[in-house]
Amino acid sequence: MAMSIKFTVTLTIFLLIGVGLAGLFMQPHVSYDAWNINKSSFPANASSEEKLTFLLSYAILAPSSHNSQPWKFNVSGNQIDIYADKSRWLQYADADKRELHISLGCALENLLVAAEHFGYETNVTYLNEGDLVARIRLEQKSLTAQVPAQAPAQAPAQDSRLIDAIVARKTNRNAYLDRPVAEADLQKLQDSAKGFSKDQGIQFYLTSDPEIRNKFRNLEIVADQTLYADANYKAELGHWLGQGVMGPTGVQALATQLAVVFLDVGPEETRKDAELVNSTPVLGFISTAENDSISQVKVGQAFERFWLEATALGISLQPMSQILEVPETKAELTEILSTGIGGLGYSGYLQHIFRLGYAEPVEDHSPRRAISEVLI
């Protein structure tokens, strides 16, 4: 008996040392280099492909669910194709690929903002062919237009507000301050998405109604409890946390992965999310007229443009997807919004949710894969 206790203790110590060493050697490598992009480095005299690849440096800074960065790009001549990288799809959190397509739309919008800044005219064809989601043709205006001989090779610099916001934007998961967002700013944000509302049937609903916030918080609690009771969801979340792409990095990332998978972190995460909702002055909802992948890519575009405007205005934002990841809470929220509480006049398919407010700034960016890793 004494022998077997000694043996078990020795084995446990060896296992712990083994896991620790494996953790040290197998630390996921993450990089923040992608954020060191500088507008003045645009290779104005290089080949078309090199210039378009530079524009992609902005696309890869886009937000994506679990920072999965589920994109691949092909650059050829004056054309960029955007593909979904399905190996990075969150099959449990995002069974219907809604978040995957929204993430791709965010990357597309960053690309278009950068292209506009550097004087390109763009033409986007949306596709639903295998993994190909969008084909963008880009023409540099200054090269095609009749310009005086002394004109610079690069088009005149555009307003830098949005392209600078691409590099400044971060998800802010702090509690938000007890301070209302000015009506004029909310209107500016609504206006930023107007083009998408009119042409694409995409609607933004912003509300400060405490009754909706309370109902929303209660649904958030149910959604969190449901998700954290699901071993597959936890394994998937743990996998991405273990990659060091959301929050902790290195050995800490691996420890966080083990905690999410093996410990009962659900109650604590649920409590934190409820508090975050309680601190939120404005909740935002996005709906579409159609429920297809192309509409979802366009939601990503509209949402990213909205987020860039918010960043430029000093307003913080955090997407909150849990309620939409559980069919029952998604249906209940749709029902609540459809009854017109707070005069939202809601209609359509619910695609995305976020909270908005003022907050202490977030210090660090999250890591990104290098361009070389996402080029086909």
Ligand X SMILES: Cc1cc2nc3c(=O)[nH]c(=O)nc-3n(C[C@H](O)[C@H](O)[C@H](O)COP(=O)(O)O)c2cc1C
Q: Report d(CA 90, CA 147) in Å as an integer.
A: 48
Q: Which stretch binds ligand X (CB under 6 A): 25-33, 102-110, 150-158, 184-192?
A: 102-110
Number of residue whose CB is nearest ligand X: 63
Q: Report d(CA 317, CA 330) in Å as an integer.
A: 21
Q: Does 170 bind ligand X (CB under 6 A)?
A: yes
Minimum CB distance to ligand X smaller for 155 or for 227 = 227
The correct pick among 256, 257, 301, 318 for binding ligand X (CB under 6 A) is 318
Q: Which stretch binds ligand X (CB under 6 A): 47-55, 75-83, 97-105, 308-316?
A: 97-105
Q: Which stretch binds ligand X (CB under 6 A): 57-65, 137-145, 156-164, 279-287?
A: 57-65
Q: Does 221 bind ligand X (CB under 6 A)?
A: no
Q: How far is CA 51 from CA 44, 79, 140, 157, 171, in A?
A: 7, 11, 10, 15, 28
The correct pick among 79, 319, 342, 358 for binding ligand X (CB under 6 A) is 319
> Which of 372, 374, 367, 370 minimizes the C-alpha distance to 27?
367
Count of residues interacting with ligand X (CB under 6 A): 19
Minimum CB distance to ligand X smaller for 53 or for 366 = 366
Minimum CB distance to ligand X smaller for 89 or for 120 = 89
Q: Which stretch binds ligand X (CB under 6 A): 33-41, 206-214, 308-316, 319-327?
A: 319-327
**Residue 99 CB, nearest distance to ligand X (Å)?**
4
Please compute, for residue 358, the number of CA atoms within 13 A of its CA located in the half-sphere on the CB side. 10
Q: Report d(CA 296, CA 84) in Å as an integer.
A: 13
3 state DSSP class of 352: strand
The correct pick among 161, 173, 215, 239 for binding ligand X (CB under 6 A) is 173
The correct pick among 293, 321, 329, 334 for binding ligand X (CB under 6 A) is 321
Q: Does 286 bind ligand X (CB under 6 A)?
A: no
Q: Which of residues 62-81 bind ligand X (CB under 6 A)?
A: 63-67
Answer whether 277's CB lies under 8 Å from 217's CB. yes
Q: Which of residues 355-374 bind ligand X (CB under 6 A)?
A: 366
Answer whether 354's CB lies under 8 Å from 193's CB. no
Minimum CB distance to ligand X smaller for 173 or for 369 = 173
Minimum CB distance to ligand X smaller for 249 or for 321 = 321
The correct pick among 308, 320, 356, 374 for binding ligand X (CB under 6 A) is 320
Q: Tokens 């609690």 sit at which residue?
A: 221
Radius of gyration of the chain (CA): 23
Q: Report d(CA 177, CA 291) in Å as an integer.
A: 35
Minimum CB distance to ligand X smaller for 138 or for 260 = 260
Q: How far is CA 60 from CA 32, 82, 115, 245, 287, in A?
A: 12, 11, 14, 14, 25
Q: Tokens 């060493």 sit at which residue?
A: 21
Q: Which stretch binds ligand X (CB under 6 A): 100-108, 128-136, 208-216, 256-264?
A: 100-108
Which alpha helices (DSSP H) does the chain contain, by range?
2-25, 48-59, 98-117, 141-144, 161-168, 183-192, 194-200, 210-228, 231-242, 250-262, 266-278, 293-312, 322-325, 327-338, 371-374
3 state DSSP class of 62: coil
Q: Does 99 bind ligand X (CB under 6 A)?
A: yes
Interacting residue ranges for ligand X, rule: CB under 6 A: 63-67, 99, 102-103, 106, 170-171, 173, 246, 318-322, 366
